[in-house]
Amino acid sequence: MIQALVNSFKIPDLKKRLLITLGLIAVYRVGSYIPTPGINGAALAEFFNRLASTQGGTLFGILNMFSGGAMEKLTIFALGIMPYISASIILQLLTAVIPALEKLAKEGRQGYEKINQYTRYLTVGLSAIQALFIAFWLENPPGFEGLAIVSHPGLAFRFLTVLTLTTGTIFIMWLGEQIQERGIGNGISLIITAGIISRIPTAMQQLILLLTGKARQIQPFTVLIMMVLLVAVVFSVILVTQGQRKIPVQYARRIVGRKIYGGQSTYIPLKVDTSGVIAIIFAQSVILFPATLASFIPNPAFQRLASGLMRGHLLYTTIYATLIIFFCYFYTAIVFNPLDLSENMKKYGGFIPGIRPGAPTAEYLDYVMTRITLAGALFIAVIAILPDFIMAWLKIPYLIASFFGGTGILIIVGVMLDTIKQIESHLLMHHYEGFVRSGRIKGRR
């Protein structure tokens, strides 16, 4: 693997792409430390330090993770790339229900560029709305336990905050597109991954303090257990991410004039985990939005609801796991259409051995997909709630436990597989060995 990395810098085109990618990610990380004007950074840091134990259990915790810690510092990249992700998911779902968008999606590259333009417009709108709500939130000292976060609240501060945070998100989106065109890997995914990985030094610092501090809250044996768990989780995530059910397809042989067409065998790869991290994002948004909203309402009933829907509670874990399984099926139903697939196979003379073409083929594909999705959904649900159990079992902070499951580990593993696959393709094209001596590394797609 080390030799493959060295070889990557021997290929001029690949070397250029790698350097551009690393440079643009460095620009993103620098921007994550530039504060938004009008914010009292010391007061905001004190507030988030008080909430360190529960920070992962609110919508602000999710935004903070995806922005690489920029949310808790309220920097110009505080919104991160989440508005773009939300806009992409919304457009993808609307494509399945709006005929005009569905027609655009089938027009190839031109239709893709048009939908991508709509995604950009929607990203601007979502960023502006989120930034405005954040501005109102910052101007409310009771929401920060009496701390004054904004020096000069008012219309000017709100306008400046909306302009700054929206521009920051658009700039991140532009960085991602530049990485996609001029660099290596999926730009948006790499930016998210860079933000998540940037939290590792802070997590390691906390772990060392727990291990070597005066109180010595954890023992060396606990660290050994954590290392074994981390290897097991990463290994299992790779297996499920790469997991496929291969449906054999045979194409009928046709004779046109003196030429013979068709007759070859292939397969349809049905992924065990079609939804990936999207199901977790949906579930987190649904369950944490009412909890976050209720926490700001000074009413005992709402406060009890908010506390019951926070991490570590049985109600939260049960609803969260159920929502993940539901959204795994929901997203799979949106992106996988067995009827269209069977019609396309029938059009080109393809059939599944033992299954009649047309409706029986669609029913068979739906039957198989429903069952393998259950396995993938249960695995994703277990991975998503695993940090909560590790946090309660090993008595470690959520920041450390979050690297043993949940959204972060799924994104990191998936993006790394995709990026390594692209680098390996360049290496093999120039007659170098890939990262593994036998076989090929597969991406998520």
Give the tens place of pLDDT for each residue, 50-108.
Answer: 665 444 455 666 667 667 677 777 888 888 888 888 888 888 878 878 888 888 887 87
Q: What is the pLDDT of residue 55?
A: 46
- Provide the token pair at 382: 């277990």
Mean pLDDT of the chain: 81
Confidence of residue 299 (pLDDT cuts 50, 70, 90): low
Closest CA to 172 of 197, 193, 192, 199: 192
Q: What is the pLDDT of residue 294?
A: 61
Domains, the chain, in order of start with CATH, read: 1-198 (1.10.3370.10)
**For residue 430, is pLDDT > 80?**
no
Where helices occur in 183-299 by DSSP H, the ranges are 187-197, 200-212, 220-242, 278-295
* Residue pointed to by tokens 């029913």: 363
What is the average pLDDT across 398-414?
Answer: 80
**For residue 166, is pLDDT > 90?**
yes
* Residue pointed to by tokens 């999705």: 373
The residue type at 335: V
Q: What percent of the chain has pLDDT over 70?
A: 81
Q: Do the bridges between strand 350-351 and strand 244-251 make them parallel or antiparallel, or are there none, so unpaired?
A: antiparallel
Comparing 286 with 416, which gets the higher pLDDT?
Answer: 416
- CA dist list (Å): 71 to 60, 92, 200, 383: 7, 27, 16, 25
Scored b (16 or more CB within 10 A) or e, 95-134 reads beeeeebeebbeeeeebeeebeeebeebbbebbbebbbeb
CB 251, CB 390: distance < 8 Å: no
CB 432, CB 14: distance < 8 Å: no
**pTM for this entry:** 0.79
Burial class from Cβ neighbours inside 10 Å (0-12, 13-18, 19+) for residue 399 reads: buried
* Residue pointed to by tokens 């004779």: 255
**For residue 367, is pLDDT > 80?**
yes
DSSP H or E segment with residue 267: strand 265-271
What is the average pLDDT across 120-141?
Answer: 87
